[in-house]
Amino acid sequence: MADGRETKAPGQLGLVQAFLNTYDLQSGRDDLADATTGAEWLAAYRLVSPGTEFDERDRRRLSEMRGALLFLVAGNGAQGVQRRAVTTLNEAARRVRLGVRLHPDDGYRLMAEGVGIDRPIGELLIAVTGSMAAGSWDRLKVCANDACQTAFYDFSRNRSGRWCSMARCGNRMKGRAYRVRRSCVSADAVDSRTAVAG
Q: Domain extents for the chain?
A: 13-161, 165-198
Provide the pLDDT confidence category of residue 105 given band limits of 50, 70 and 90.
confident
Predicted local distance difference test score (pLDDT) of residue 99: 86
For residue 123, pLDDT over 60 is answered with: yes
Q: Each residue of 61-84: pLDDT tens digit? A: 999 999 999 999 998 876 677 788
Q: Are strands 151-153 and 140-142 parallel, antiparallel or unpaired?
A: antiparallel
Could you tell me which CATH number the domain at 13-161 has?
1.10.3300.10
Residue 1 has pLDDT above 80, yes or no: no
Cα 100 to Cα 95: distance, rounded to the nearest angstrom: 16
pTM for this prediction: 0.80
**Is 179's pLDDT higher than 80?**
no
- Cα–Cα nearest to 39, from 61, 16, 71: 61
Q: pLDDT averaged over the chain?
A: 84
- Please give the Cα distance from 9 to 7 (Å, whole number): 6
The pLDDT > 70 percentage for the chain reads 80
Mean pLDDT to the nearest integer, 106-110: 81
